[in-house]
Each structure stands twice: as C-alpha cells, then as structure tokens.
C-alpha cells in the first residue's frame, strides 16, 4: 500500500512529464482568420461559435462549411453566455469583450494577421495545439506543403503585378499578397514604386507605371459603387487582369494554397 502511495511522489521527483491539458470543449472565435483554422483543426462539437463574418462568402474562405456552425457578433454578454473555455481573438480588437473575460477560467489566444506562408504554418501549429489536436496541425501543414510544391514558382516569369483594390488602394510589400506574388514568380509593383504596405495610387500614376498585370478581387467585376468604378476606368482597360476572391487573401490560412494555385493557373493560361 505504501508503495502505491509513493508512486505519484516518485513521478514528480523523477521529473516525469505531467499529463497533457484537456482539450477545450467550447471554443469561441472572435477572429475571422481563426474561423479557417478552427474548421480545419477542431472537432465541430468543440466550436461554440465562429465570427459573424464566417458565413459571408465575400469575406470568409470557409463560408459553406460555417453554415452549420453557430456564430457570434462578439459582444461581451453574448460571448459569456456561450460559456467558452477558449476564446481566440485579435490583439487590440474586442477590448470590452476581452476585458470581461479577465479573471475568469477562460483561456485566450491572440492571433495576429499572418503576412507570409511561414507565419501561416506557425499559426496552424499554434491553433492545433490550443484545441488539443497537434497531430492535425502537422497533417494540415504536410498537405499544404505538398500542394504548394506542385505549383510552379516561376509561373509569372518575374512579370510586374499590382494588387489594386477599390478606391485605388495598392497592396504593398511585407504583406500576405506580396508573399503570394513571390510564390508564383511575380514582382510586386509596390516595391518598384517604393510604396508602403497599403497606399493610395491614382489612376494616372497606375497608368504610367504600366504593370504587366492588375490583380483584382472577383467581387469588383460588377460596378456597384464609385470605389469599384475606378477599377473599370478606360485608363486601365488594356492591362490584363488576374482575379482572386477577397476571402482567399483577407486572412492567412489554408486558403493561401487556393490563391497561389489560382494565380499560377491564370498565368499559365495567359502564356506566362
């Protein structure tokens, strides 16, 4: 009997690893990018709620899969009513809600926007560990790596491309879009122009810069406001376009692979 009682003490003294923490059972996402990770890595029964943008196909790369999962607008009372044991948020966002969580037995995880594939891989591991399924993170990374390895790195042949958004915003270097361009062999016009991560570039300046391609969001095909109308100006009419859903680039995550594959396929069709 004494030997049995001494076993736990001996385990501690010998430095044996403690049992792993229990996986969270009620996870709430307040981060659009976390929605992708949770649907890929967590059991459905673990997810108490995703963000209210999760079902929006214009913003969410997992809109179809999110239809059967509860959503939250992220208010403090609403989140607390969900009785979460893990909340995944964005640093500096939902401050009132996050303040209400302090001092309670609720784990939190902050995810900053991923600006490269390397950061996406790191976040996959982080979220997989947080939800109690690290092996799923390893498997997802292996699948993404394998898919990206099949995409030619020189599809763009160093052609210059501008990721041009509504109202004339140009996406610059050090961003996820910039990383995508390099992935398929394109050169970001913003680097040539010395622009920051996000900059307003007028029609005349863009026309003078004459990129080989404009990369635009698929939702801008139809003119619904003045911001989109700018993208249809005759000054830009002769510049070939590559198109991506905003939902694939607004966040880092598994959709990065879809965006890279789509760009490479469009470039191949254009003979680049």
Return the SS3 of 36.
helix
pLDDT-based confidence at residue 17 (cuts at 50, 70, 90) = low
CATH for 160-269, among 3.40.640.10, 3.40.50.1980, 3.40.50.1820, 3.40.630.30? 3.40.50.1980
The β-bridge partners of 188 are 161
Residue 42 DSSP class = S
Structure tokens at 238: 């002769």
- Per-residue pLDDT for 16 more than 80? no
pLDDT-based confidence at residue 7 (cuts at 50, 70, 90) = very low
pLDDT tens per residue, range 33-59: 999 999 999 999 999 999 999 999 999
**180 phi and psi, to 5 degrees?**
-60, -45
Structure tokens at 32: 């659009």
pLDDT tens per residue, range 122-151: 999 999 999 999 999 999 999 999 999 999
Instruction: Say what the pLDDT of residue 21 is.
Output: 66
Query: Cα torsion at 147, 148, 150, 151 (round to 10°)?
Result: 130
| pTM for the structure as a whole | 0.88
CA distances from 128 to 38, 109, 132, 236, 251 (A): 8, 12, 6, 44, 17
Contact 266, 259 (CB under 8 A): no
User: Does the domain formed by 27-148 have CATH 3.40.50.1980?
Assistant: yes
Contact 138, 247 (CB under 8 A): no
**51 phi and psi, to 5 degrees?**
-70, 160
pLDDT-based confidence at residue 272 (cuts at 50, 70, 90) = low
Q: Which of 14-18, 119-123, 157-161 has the lowest mean pLDDT?
A: 14-18
Beta-strand relationship, 27-29 and 241-244: unpaired
**How is the chain split into domains, by residue range?**
27-148, 160-269
The β-bridge partners of 176 are none
Same-fold call for 27-148 versus 160-269: yes
* DSSP percent split of the chain into helix, strand, coil, nearest 5: 45, 15, 40
Q: Concatenated DSSP letters for 144-210? A: HHHHHHTS-TTTTTT-EEEEEEGGGEEE-TTSHHHHHHHHTT-EEHHHHHT--SEEE--HHHHHHH-
pLDDT, averaged across the chain: 91
């Amino acid at each position: 009997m004494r030997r049995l009682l001494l076993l736990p003490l001996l385990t501690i003294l010998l430095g044996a690893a403690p049992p792993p923490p229990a996986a969270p059972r009620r996870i709430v996402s307040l981060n659009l990018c976390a929605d992708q990770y949770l649907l890929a890595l967590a059991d459905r029964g673990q997810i108490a709620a995703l963000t209210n943008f999760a079902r929006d196909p214009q913003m969410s790369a997992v809109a179809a899969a999110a239809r059967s999962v509860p959503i939250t607008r992220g208010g403090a009372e609403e989140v607390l009513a969900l009785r979460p044991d893990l909340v995944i948020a964005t640093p500096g966002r939902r401050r009132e809600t996050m303040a209400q969580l302090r001092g309670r037995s609720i784990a939190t995880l902050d995810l900053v926007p991923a600006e490269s594939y390397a950061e996406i891989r790191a976040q996959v591991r982080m979220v997989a560990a947080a939800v109690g399924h690290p092996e799923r993170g390893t498997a997802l990374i292996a699948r993404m790596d394998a898919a990206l390895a099949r995409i030619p790195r020189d599809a763009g042949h160093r052609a210059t491309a501008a990721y041009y958004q509504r109202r004339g915003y140009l996406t610059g270097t050090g961003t996820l879009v910039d990383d995508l361009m390099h992935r398929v062999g394109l050169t970001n016009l913003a680097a040539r122009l010395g622009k920051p991560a996000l900059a307003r570039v007028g029609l005349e300046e863009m026309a003078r810069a004459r990129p080989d391609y404009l990369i635009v969001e698929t939702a801008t095909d139809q003119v619904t406001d003045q911001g989109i109308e700018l993208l249809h100006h005759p000054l830009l009419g002769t510049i070939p376009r590559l198109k991506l859903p905003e939902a694939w680039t607004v966040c880092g995550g598994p959709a990065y692979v879809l965006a890279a594959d789509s760009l490479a396929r469009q470039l191949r069709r254009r003979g680049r």
